[in-house]
Amino acid sequence: MNNQRRLVLSGLLCVLICDIGGVIGGVFRSPNSDDALFWRQQAESYLKRILQYEPNRRQGGAGVAQNVIIFVGDGMGIASLSTGRIYKGQLAGRSGEEEVLSFDHFENTGFSKTYNTDRQVPDSAGTATAMFTGVKTKYGFIGVDYSATATNEVAASVSNIMEWAQAAGKRTGIVTTTRVTHATPAATFAHSFDRNWECEAKIPANVRNKTKDIARQLVENAPGNKMNVIMGGGRSAFGAAIPEHLKTAFKFNGSMEKTCVREDGRNLVKDWLVSKNGSEAAYVWNTAELMNAEVDDLDYLMGLFADTHMSYERVRDTSEGGEPSLADMTEKAIRVLKRKHSNGYVLMVEGGRIDHAHHQNHARRPSEC
């Protein structure tokens, strides 16, 4: 009897495993066309439906914002939010679960489905493209739809919020604690088949003369070359590294993609400054230079404060020769963008090291970024 039961249980287990294996190993094709038209029609339909709700009708429907600031916490999912609340409360001597974060008080909140058209677990390139263009795309793609190849980025490109803002006469800018050529900020200005093509050294030799790296796109192409504020890390991709400025006092374990070091001899920061001839423009590379900049009179401000990503907030060099905080950069950015009698501005602000702290398995660091 026992042997028979074992055989039956073994058979059932085999059926269960085989069935699950069939699901996991299966290839499921998207029922959608996944092109820009599909995603934008879907969004328009959803917005129309939302605006029909009674509370929205009472408020007169959708207003038109003059100024827009998009705060992105890269990697800040539900678990990160819960951890942040608890950590904040415990730092104040409480248990933590009852703590409230600033945006918990917002009148309107929502959830987004973060996935790529070819992967259920997405990356920042595809998800940032979805945020800033309204078009979901493949893993690793920036500012292009699912049809992109290494040599047809222009044909596959999709317009983004910075282009729309500039067309409406608004000033624009980006602030991040990652490299400014990294996936999230890059989605506001670049069109790239591969998120790793931050500088020309990462582009395969056989297509290098058929595409532009992300740093060049920021300096040479719209909407990047029209942005009034560019601040973050990533000097190496621009050929503007400062080796003696490297800080090695604090090291983290865990995987992290390597910096793209420019090899063509170009200094794109100098090229950017030359292109702004006739305008009030400034380049800054440490806290003192940023804090002393006459930002109220500037048309354009570029600040690159690290050769690669900027430091985690907890270990940031807070001296005048070090890196400014995300709050300092944001405050200065708003002062550059805010002008009397203007049509307003659009600013993207990213706390990008949250994601990196998760990748490197640091429990408290994501809440401190």
Mean pLDDT (the chain) is 89
Does residue 86 belong to any structural domain of this protein? no
Distance, CA of 89 to CA of 362 (rounded, Å) = 19
**pLDDT tens digit sequence for 131-153:** 999 999 999 999 999 999 999 99
Distance, CA of 216 to CA of 327 (rounded, Å) = 27
pLDDT at 335 over 80: yes
pLDDT for the residue 16:
47
Q: What is the number of domains present in the chain? A: 1
CA dihedral 317, 367, 257, 332 (to 10 degrees): -50
Q: Which of 124, 236, 311, 367 is catalytic?
A: 124
Does residue 47 belong to any structural domain of this protein? no
**pLDDT tens digit sequence for 268-288:** 999 999 999 988 999 999 999
pLDDT at 213 over 50: yes
Q: Which residues make beta-bridge pairs with 185?
A: none
Which has more confidence, 238 or 113? 238
Q: Which residues neighbour 312 within 8 Å (Cβ) at sequence distance 6 or greater?
A: 252, 353, 357, 365, 368, 369
* Catalytic residue list contains 275: no
Which has more confidence, 249 or 299? 299
pLDDT for the residue 253:
47
Range of the domain at 153: 67-77+119-368
CATH of the domain at 154: 3.40.720.10
Q: Which long-range contacts (CB under 8 A, 24 or more apart) does 246-251 make?
A: 246/307, 247/311, 247/317, 249/315, 250/311, 250/315
Q: Which residues make beta-bridge pairs with 173?
A: 229, 347
Does residue 272 belong to any structural domain of this protein? yes
Angstrom distances, CA of residue 353 to CA of 71, 74, 76, 103, 362: 13, 7, 10, 19, 11
Exposed/middle/buried for 347, CB within 10 Å: 0-12, 13-18, 19+? buried
Query: With a threshold of 0.85, does the pTM exceed it?
Result: yes
